């Protein structure tokens, strides 16, 4: 395939993918820009709603918090799903509850008094609706698959856009936007090419990670293990013992602390079924990820440590998979990269609008040429 045919193929693919998936890409991008700082925004919302937490010397232990919440919500049929300790002194404990109707509730607990500050249903909260729109188009499993396909289209659009970038012929031309004495069509094209080349790599990475998460049927994770020649660890399980209830949360947490000493607990995930393990997320001091990539899985009946994932010594496959979160959410350089990702999320809207203008102009030119040809042919006859 020669260069001209290759570029023409890339051009037509780029144009039609943009036309087909443009609106959904804009939805994903705009909601993604909001979600970049959703924790900070939501903390302000929660403070306004439930009041300010005043730190004191001692925090209430996690087992006491879980017992308080469990007792308060058991009558409503809600079960413990997970708990996260405060990541800042004036933040609450966050306890997630799961309802039989597959709804999720958040309970906020003062870490110094142990009192429940309030709760909300995740699906009807402002951030829950934006998250669901971003992730599933508010359409359940069908929307999940659609947005997974849109994520793959994002990768393809980014790659074809890089191929078509004028800077490969003349570097300066690829970054120049002509404003002065330029026709609007030229300025529109320049905005499209510059916005595209600055965000293409980031959009491709966001699209790839989104596709892996939304479409597990593609088995990309298994492919990563295979390509890196890394044996995939078996799923940890608990072995129920007849007549014996699960161990106390305090005992399980103590065993998790012993398995990874000198690490901070970032979350606890409670098993929903008797064969599932009790999971504890950890962050070791040298880990750059705010939440850590270390985790401990324990048999909920015996307390045996059945699996440890060391965030400081990941396998080759885990090292790759651990980067998916930072690359998708823009946390790899802290605040600067998150600010960058706000603008990356706005890029699909800019690219769709400028791309649509170029497409409409081409259609007008093409139709004008066809009419002119017909008139010329009529004159000759």
DSSP character string of 261-303: TTEEEEEEE--SSTTSPEEEEEEETT--STT-SEEEEE-TTT-
Assess contact for 96 and 267: CB atoms under 8 A: no
Return per-residue pLDDT of the chain as tens, 381 residues.
Answer: 578 889 999 999 999 999 999 999 999 999 999 999 999 999 999 999 999 999 998 999 999 999 999 999 999 999 999 999 999 999 999 999 999 989 999 999 999 999 999 999 999 999 999 999 999 999 999 999 999 999 999 999 999 999 999 999 999 989 999 998 888 999 999 999 999 999 999 999 999 999 999 999 999 999 999 999 999 999 999 999 999 999 999 999 999 999 999 999 999 999 999 999 999 999 999 998 889 999 999 999 999 999 999 999 999 999 999 999 999 999 999 999 999 999 999 999 999 999 999 999 887 766 666 665 555 555 555
pLDDT at 99: 94
- C-alpha pair distances (Å), 188 with each of 176, 184, 207, 239: 12, 6, 25, 63
DSSP assigned state of 323? T
Spatial separation of the C-alpha atoms in residues 79 and 92, rounded to whole Å:
19
C-alpha gyration radius of the chain: 26
What residues contact 235, with CB distance under 8 A and at least 6 apart? Answer: none
What residues contact 228, with CB distance under 8 A and at least 6 apart? Answer: 315, 316, 317, 320
Spatial separation of the C-alpha atoms in residues 304 and 40, rounded to whole Å:
37
If phi over 0 gives left and psi between -120 and 50 gives alpha, with beta otherwise, what is residue 77?
left
DSSP character string of 114-133: --EEEEEEGGGSHHHHHHHH
The closest alpha carbon to 157, from 115, 114, 202, belongs to: 202
- Say what the alpha-carbon torsion angle 151, 175, 12, 355 is, to the nearest 10 degrees: 70
If phi over 0 gives left and psi between -120 and 50 gives alpha, with beta otherwise, what is residue 124?
alpha
pLDDT at 380: 57
Assess contact for 28 and 35: CB atoms under 8 A: no
pLDDT at 2: 76
DSSP-assigned beta bridge partners for residue 95? 83, 107
Spatial separation of the C-alpha atoms in residues 53 and 88, rounded to whole Å:
11
CA atoms within 13 A on the CB side of 199: 25
* HEC readout, 15-78: HHHHHHHHHHHHHHHHHHHHHCCHHHHHHHHHHHHHCCCCCCCCCCCHHHHHHHHHHHHHHHCC
Assess contact for 68 and 114: CB atoms under 8 A: yes
pLDDT at 237: 97
DSSP-assigned beta bridge partners for residue 296? 280, 308
Spatial separation of the C-alpha atoms in residues 170 and 58, rounded to whole Å:
63
């Amino acid at each position: 395939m020669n260069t001209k045919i290759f570029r023409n193929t890339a051009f037509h693919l780029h144009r039609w993918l943009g036309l087909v998936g443009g609106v959904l890409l804009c939805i994903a991008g705009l909601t993604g820009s909001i979600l970049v700082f959703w924790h900070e925004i939501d903390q302000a919302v929660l403070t306004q709603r439930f009041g300010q937490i005043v730190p004191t010397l001692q925090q209430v232990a996690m087992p006491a918090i879980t017992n308080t919440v469990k007792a308060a919500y058991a009558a409503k049929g809600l079960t413990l799903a997970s708990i996260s300790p405060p990541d800042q002194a004036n933040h609450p404990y966050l306890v997630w509850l799961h309802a039989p109707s597959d709804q999720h509730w958040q309970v906020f607990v003062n870490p110094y008094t142990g009192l429940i500050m309030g709760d909300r249903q995740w699906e009807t909260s402002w951030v829950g609706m934006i998250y669901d729109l971003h992730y599933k188009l508010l359409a359940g499993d069908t929307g999940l698959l659609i947005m997974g396909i849109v994520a793959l289209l994002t990768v393809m659009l980014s790659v074809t856009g890089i191929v078509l970038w004028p800077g490969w012929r003349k570097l300066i031309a690829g970054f120049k936007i002509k404003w002065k004495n330029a026709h609007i069509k030229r300025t529109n094209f320049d905005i499209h090419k510059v916005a595209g080349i600055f965000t293409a790599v980031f959009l491709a990475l966001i699209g790839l990670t989104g596709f892996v998460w939304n479409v597990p049927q593609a088995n990309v994770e298994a492919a990563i293990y295979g390509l890196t020649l890394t044996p995939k660890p078996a799923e940890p399980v608990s072995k129920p013992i007849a007549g014996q209830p699960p161990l106390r949360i305090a005992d399980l947490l103590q065993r998790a602390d012993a398995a990874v000493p000198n690490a901070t607990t970032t979350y606890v995930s409670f098993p929903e079924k008797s064969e599932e393990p009790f999971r504890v997320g950890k962050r070791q001091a040298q880990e750059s990820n705010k939440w850590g990539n270390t985790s401990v899985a324990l048999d909920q009946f015996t307390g045996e440590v059945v699996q440890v994932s060391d965030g400081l010594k990941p396998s080759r496959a885990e090292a790759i998979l651990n980067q998916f979160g930072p690359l998708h959410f823009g946390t790899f350089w802290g605040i600067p990269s998150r600010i960058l990702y706000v603008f990356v999320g706005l890029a699909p809207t800019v690219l769709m609008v400028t791309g649509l203008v170029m497409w409409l102009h081409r259609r007008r030119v093409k139709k004008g040429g066809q009419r002119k040809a017909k008139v010329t042919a009529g004159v000759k006859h």
